[in-house]
């Protein structure tokens, strides 16, 4: 009887708050997009999708990522420019180039680039 109640409570908890994937990457990690030609440094992480519905619907349905995974804010760069990107975990992988990111906002958020990672400035740590 106790086991049945426990299973029922577990199921109710899942309906209220579905399980969330753990973030694979951390602030300061240098990553690259798996499909598109850009790379960047992570400066913020959302545990699940937290952008606008309009942004989400603009992604073609065939490649639209699931909402229930971490999404990362990147100071990103490609061959033509630097910008801010919002990318799902499934579309990122570690960048193995060991090259720093050339983005004008890096110095305002990060200090050093050591061993392929950026160190968050003291005033941004909590």
Asked whether residue 19 carries a pLDDT value surpassing 90, the answer given is no
Cα–Cα dist 86/66, whole Å: 14
Output the pTM of the full model. 0.82
pLDDT value of residue 124: 86
Digit-coded pLDDT (tens) for 38-56: 999 999 999 999 999 999 9
pLDDT value of residue 126: 76
CA angle 77, 88, 83 (to 5 degrees): 20
pLDDT value of residue 17: 56
Residue by residue, DSSP assigns 80-123 as S-EEEEEEEGGGEEE--S-PPP--TTHHHHEEEEETTEEEEPGG
Digit-coded pLDDT (tens) for 76-109: 999 999 999 999 999 999 999 999 999 999 999 9
Asked whether residue 8 carries a pLDDT value surpassing 80, the answer given is no
Structural domains of the chain, with CATH = 21-124 (2.30.30.390)
Quick one: average pLDDT of 19-33?
90
């Amino acid at each position: 009887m106790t086991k049945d109640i426990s299973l029922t409570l577990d199921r109710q908890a899942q309906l209220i708050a579905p399980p969330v994937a753990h973030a694979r990457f951390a602030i300061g990690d240098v990553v690259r997009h798996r499909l598109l030609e850009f790379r960047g440094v992570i400066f913020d992480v959302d545990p699940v999708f937290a952008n606008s519905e309009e942004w989400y619907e603009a992604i073609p349905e065939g490649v639209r990522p699931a909402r229930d995974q971490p999404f990362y804010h990147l100071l990103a760069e490609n061959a033509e420019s630097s910008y801010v990107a919002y990318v799902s975990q499934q579309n990122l992988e570690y960048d193995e180039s060991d090259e720093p990111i050339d983005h004008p906002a890096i110095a305002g958020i990060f200090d050093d680039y050591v061993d392929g990672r950026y160190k968050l400035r003291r005033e941004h740590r909590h």
